[in-house]
Amino acid sequence: MADLPTSNPGEIPRRVGHACPTELNDGWVYCDRVSARQVSRVRAHQAGPSQASTTVLDYYTHHYRHSDRATWQRRIESGHVRLNGQPTQANAPLIPGQQLTYHRPPWQEPPVPLDIATIYEDDGLLVVHKPSGLPVLPGGNFLQNTLLWQLRQHHPTAAPIHRLGRGTSGIMLVAKTKAARAHLSQQMRQRRLGKTYRALVGPTVRPADGLPDALPDQFTVTQPIGKIPYPQLGHIYGATPDGLEAHSDCTVVQRRPQATLLDVTILTGRPHQIRIHLATVGHPLLGDPLYVDGGQPHRSATAIPSDCGYWLHAHCLSFIHPAGEPMTLVAPPPPQLVPH
């Protein structure tokens, strides 16, 4: 677990962590099988009905908007994109069934904490303590500096059963065999995995004090969560009336002058559920750069979901071992998330 400083009285804590040395990774190849549906979507967004065909450049510009059209054109012209295994041109037409590959050259990944602790391990499964700041899966600028990559250096078949946000620390369940993965994934689908988190929000008072931002000792949030428009990424998840069902049971653990400590048990696993739900009731996580009151992104629209700084820890996990034994395991929270 990353080192966390002891806060002075009245001081709001901030996250720090161990960072690995920066170095180039080995690069990566992203493969796409072109479908008729994908071609139709690109054509629907092309300017003018006279466009004869969808080109390689059209495809990448439409489907991978993290880079602009000029950047994709340079990559294609540099030979980093291949069509059916052969070098191609930006204006080459696409037809369904063809395969595109983008050979991303090695790049320097952002440093992350890599102090991953093992909580439990046997032949079928692994339970680990993920530090805050470490992504679970490859994506964006992260490939080797991810939990999955690091685990597979020692456990080639490792498969996480659930996910935690990059800024969330705590307990994660990982299958090591296909049989264990199937058994645990079924529990996940049937909502039989018990997951309790420790969260830190701003200062609160009890309803008896009669203030508008009062927070009861126990409360439940059932705000639906779904995709909403977001300029940075096209869309993100947030509070929306036409979203999917989401359920969080919350208990106040301790009220402090500068913060409130909560336990949150989730019955569903929507993306960023706890961050969105606590923001929905007017108490976003301390340090959250993205979600504000109402469960919506900040109006500045500059942060992305993987940005860190918030205080959330996966504390306790309950499940049935594939051998049939009930198990409850705990990842100790950082000092700031322990009642005192």
Segment 316-327 shows an average pLDDT of: 97
The Cα 258–Cα 252 span in angstroms is 14
Q: How far apart are the first and last CA of the chain?
A: 20
Q: 233-267 pLDDT, tens per residue?
A: 878 999 999 999 999 999 999 999 999 999 999 99
Segment 89-114 shows an average pLDDT of: 93
Q: Which residue has better confidence, 53 or 174?
A: 174
Report all structural domains of the chain as residue ranges with CATH numbers, in order of start: 28-104 (3.10.290.10), 193-309 (3.30.2350.10)
The Cα 319–Cα 315 span in angstroms is 14
Give the CA distances from residue 323 to residues 17, 103, 320, 329, in Å, rounded to whole numbers and listed in that order: 36, 42, 8, 16
Of 65-74, 125-134, 242-251, 328-337, the range with the lowest mean pLDDT is 65-74
Q: What is the pLDDT of residue 11?
A: 38
Contact present, 297 and 239 (Cβ < 8 Å): no
Q: 105-139 pLDDT, tens per residue?
A: 998 999 999 999 999 999 999 999 999 999 999 98
Q: What is the pTM of this model?
A: 0.81
Reported confidence tier of residue 28, pLDDT bands at 50, 70, 90: confident
**36 burial level (CB within 10 Å; 0-12, 13-18, 19+):** exposed
Segment 14-41 shows an average pLDDT of: 73
238 has which bridge partners? 226
Q: What is the pLDDT of residue 4?
A: 29
Contact present, 54 and 43 (Cβ < 8 Å): yes
**DSSP β-ladder status, 234-239 and 312-320:** unpaired
Reported confidence tier of residue 46, pLDDT bands at 50, 70, 90: low
Q: What is the pLDDT of residue 156?
A: 95
Q: Which residue has better confidence, 171 or 49?
A: 171
Is the pLDDT at 295 greater than 80? The verdict is yes
Segment 275-284 shows an average pLDDT of: 97
Percent of the chain's residues with pLDDT above 90: 72
Is the pLDDT at 180 greater than 50? The verdict is yes
Give the CA distances from residue 40 to residues 130, 210, 217, 256, in Å, rounded to whole numbers and listed in that order: 41, 57, 52, 56
Q: What is the pLDDT of residue 5?
A: 29
Reported confidence tier of residue 293, pLDDT bands at 50, 70, 90: very high
Q: 299-311 pLDDT, tens per residue?
A: 887 899 999 999 9
Q: 186-228 pLDDT, tens per residue?
A: 999 999 999 999 999 999 988 877 676 689 999 999 999 999 9
Encoded tokens for 180: 């264990």
Q: What is the pLDDT of residue 188?
A: 94
Q: What is the pLDDT of residue 10?
A: 34
User: What kind and span of H or E run contains 194?
Assistant: strand 194-201
Segment 55-66 shows an average pLDDT of: 89
List helix spans (H) across 224-272: none
Percent of the chain's residues with pLDDT above 70: 90
Q: What is the pLDDT of residue 301?
A: 74
118 has which bridge partners? 128
Residues 6+ apart with CB under 8 A from 200: 13, 259, 260, 261, 262, 285, 286, 311, 312, 336, 337
294 has which bridge partners? none
What is the chain's Cα-based Rg? Answer: 23
Q: What is the pLDDT of residue 51?
A: 56
